Chain A
Amino acid sequence: MKDVNTPILTVQGLQKYFPVGQFGLRRRYLRAVEDVSFSLYPGKVTALVGESGSGKTTVARVLARIYDPTSGKISLDGQDAGAIAPRAYRRKVQMIFQDPFSSLNPATSIAYTLSRPLVAHGHATFSNVHQFLPELLQRVSLTPAEQFLKKHPHELSGGQRQRVAIARALAVQPEILLADEPVSMLDVSIRLDILNLMTQLKEEEKLAILFITHDIASARYFAEETLVMYAGQMVEGGSSEEVTQQPKHPYTQLLLSAAPDPDRLADPAAEIPVLPARGEIPSLVNPPSGCRFHPRCPLAMDVCKERFPQRTNLENGHWVHCHHVQSAE
């Protein structure tokens, strides 16, 4: 039995810079991720929320070892991840991509797609792999399995493809799933089915899941813990309920007020929020100094331009990086 209170994966001070403009004499860097730290626990979902360009996908890709981190420490089961051979690492950490229309090989059947990881990771051989496939599809509720095995991705709907992608990740028998916006390309009506399926898998197999999304309502629904990222910096975190119901950082509040919420209709007096245009995520090649949110922040003070705020711990494990909250404390 896995110990659910010991983190299986810990990230500390993760940084990722991408070199840009190599023609000049001076090399410049795009600072995609700046000082990110968190832990994943077995049987728990951690959501990483932010706009496009906030660096959340980069974090997932570094954890999947698609990119190497610029600096920072990743440890898996107490071992330094850099010291683990890539295949052994991926035996435990698998990724589900955003777009099921391009993450499956269109030229091969579902049976082939699913048998590759089984063989590559030594759970089966080419001669006996076929006996494992039906069970794999049943775990993601694709039945009758025999019928799906022969099909090619173009014959499946978006939701079915994403289930195949999940089955492919499960084939490795991982302990950690990195789900990069697994439902954002799907119809709204299908999304919950996939999230409910992942909840079920998490509970049955005690998977640790990193769930990346820009939809804060689904983070609240699916994840125990929510971390909010802005322009490569972590700005707020804590239990999902705390973060979504009592957001402290102005950026989290912005995300929440922007999310569609039909329940506003229940209260005839409630106004539909009107967001004044406050610009977009800044350039990460020349990021704003201090707190990167300050050019868009309605509460920005002088100190916000000077330095990034220290972490302020509130009750129940809720924390925030904001000068405004800090001075109010």
Chain B
Amino acid sequence: MSDPILSVQHISIDYGFDEDATHAVTDVSFTLGRGEFLGLAGESGCGKSTLAYGIANILRNPANIVSGEILYYGKNTPPTNILALSGAALRAFRWNELAIVFQSAMNALNPVLSLRAQFRDIFTTHRPHMSRKDIDQRAVELLQMVGIAPDRLHSFPHELSGGMRQRAGIALALALNPDIIIMDEPTTALDVVAQREILSEMIRLRQNLQFSVIFITHDLSLLLELADNVAIMYAGRIVEYGDRRNLYTHARHPYSYGLLHSFPPLRGPAKKVFGIAGSPPDLRALPQGCAFHPRCPMAFAACQSALPILKTADPAFPAQQTACHLYDTALRATPPTEEDIAAAYAANSQRRGMRV
């Protein structure tokens, strides 16, 4: 593991207060290495976007970070807790050190300003000494970096296609050479070709500029091609964390397995695939014990009462952590193999009246 750039420790985020609070993120910890590409995957409503916005400290009421800290390790500076920053210090931190590419480029860009004006916004705020000429020059450089022709500098967002808008969003995020870029479903609204082009662009830029990425998506198939490590979230908690290859070869948590096998194969023999039964839980009324147990094909008694904690499931892969009782030797003698989980999913879908 390279040296850390960001360390998230026991973060919990609520919407609302006291007993009305909805716990969107609960006790999440992870470390992002310098130059690492971390994927954050989960269904809608699992808290992945809330977590990302919490990391950037841009949440507003009624969201409220109840506990935990987020340490940023800048170059040659002592670690700073992002959550403790405010006022000028926070403004200086944002975009300089950490930038965000938002989900729908359609709404993230200001529709009444040209790209040039939006670049000027950034530079006049963060680099007040820069002349307009220098700003334009830098803006053109950035646009070229993401594959947009320089003559588009004067375009307004509505004159650009969806893919170009997303590229412009990336160019804006790169403007100040941040150490960390958070990408919140950057390609969800795009079709496959535009998506692939943008991701290729990201891989190339990351090699050249050496920034770290937190990439949020509900499409695990993408992450497996791109990310170094993947964290899978369910109902506000990380349920599995591991190297993408470990996760691909052996997803241990039944939820990860379900996500991983919920897209049909592009090549190889055609096979029946199932997806995950049911829908994501209501965060206002989470089930007791493991939040996934009502949808889990392998749930047993302990899942309904005790909350599993994230820990190493198999000593042979110490970095792959799973929050699941199935791997607790005190509760179950032998951990399930991948075939066991597959069989349970197939049996479960048969019970639901689906033909196999």
Measured CB to CB, the residues of A under 8 A from B are 51-52, 141, 157-160, 187-193, 196-197, 200, 203, 214-218, 220-222, 241, 244-245, 254-266, 272-277, 280
B47 at the interface (CB under 8 A from A): no
Which of A192, A254, A258 is B264 in contact with, Cβ under 8 Å? Answer: A192
Please tell me which stretch of B83-91, B219-227, B311-319 contacts chain A, meaning at least 4 of its Cβ atoms lie within 8 angstroms of it. Answer: B219-227
A254 touches B193 (CB 8 A): yes
Known contacts A244-B266, A265-B224; A157 and B280 CB within 8 A of each other: yes
Q: Closest approach, in angstroms, between the C-beta of A222 and any C-beta of chain B?
A: 8
**In the complex, chain B residues 204-255 whose Cβ is within 8 Å of any chain A Cβ:** 204, 218-222, 224-226, 244-245, 248-249
From B195, B267, B352, residue with most partner A Cβ within 10 Å: B267
Closest to A197 in B: B354
A258 touches B355 (CB 8 A): no
A190 touches B197 (CB 8 A): no
B137 at the interface (CB under 8 A from A): no
| Top 4 closest pairs, chain A to chain B, by CB | A192-B275, A221-B264, A258-B196, A262-B224
A274 touches B273 (CB 8 A): no
Task: Report the bound CA distance from A187 to B275 in whole Å.
Answer: 10
B248 touches A187 (CB 8 A): no
Which of A52, A189, A217, A274 is B275 in contact with, Cβ under 8 Å? Answer: A189
Closest to A192 in B: B275
| Contacts A/B (CB < 8 Å), 17 sampled | A188-B218, A188-B220, A189-B276, A191-B263, A192-B262, A192-B264, A192-B273, A192-B274, A203-B355, A216-B266, A221-B270, A245-B267, A259-B192, A259-B266, A273-B196, A274-B203, A275-B193
Q: Add 4 more A-B contacts to A221-B270, A280-B161 (CB < 8 A).
A: A189-B275, A254-B193, A265-B224, A274-B203
A272 touches B225 (CB 8 A): yes
Closest to B276 in A: A189
Task: Report the bound CA distance from A244 to B222 in whole Å.
Answer: 19
* B: contact size bracket: 35 or more
Task: Report the bound CA distance from A259 to B268 in whole Å.
Answer: 15
B194 at the interface (CB under 8 A from A): yes
B265 at the interface (CB under 8 A from A): yes
Task: Report the bound CA distance from A192 to B345 in whole Å.
Answer: 13
Task: Report the bound CA distance from A189 to B259 in whole Å.
Answer: 6
Closest to B46 in A: A187
Task: Report the bound CA distance from A272 to B207 in whole Å.
Answer: 14
Closest to A265 in B: B248
Closest to B260 in A: A262
Q: For residue A274, which residues in chain B have a CB less than 8 angstroms away from its CB? A: 200, 203-204
Known contacts A187-B43, A187-B44, A275-B200; A262 and B262 CB within 8 A of each other: no
A157 touches B192 (CB 8 A): no
From A189, A190, A215, residue with most partner B Cβ within 10 Å: A189
A275 touches B273 (CB 8 A): no
Closest to A52 in B: B191
Known contacts A158-B44, A280-B161; A188 and B264 CB within 8 A of each other: no
Q: For residue B259, which residues in chain A have a CB less than 8 angstroms away from its CB? A: 188-189
B262 touches A196 (CB 8 A): no
Which of B220, B226, B248, B274 is A196 in contact with, Cβ under 8 Å? Answer: B274
Closest to B282 in A: A157
Known contacts A255-B192, A262-B224, A263-B267; A188 and B219 CB within 8 A of each other: yes
**In the complex, chain B residues 148-207 whose Cβ is within 8 Å of any chain A Cβ:** 161-163, 191-197, 200-201, 203-204
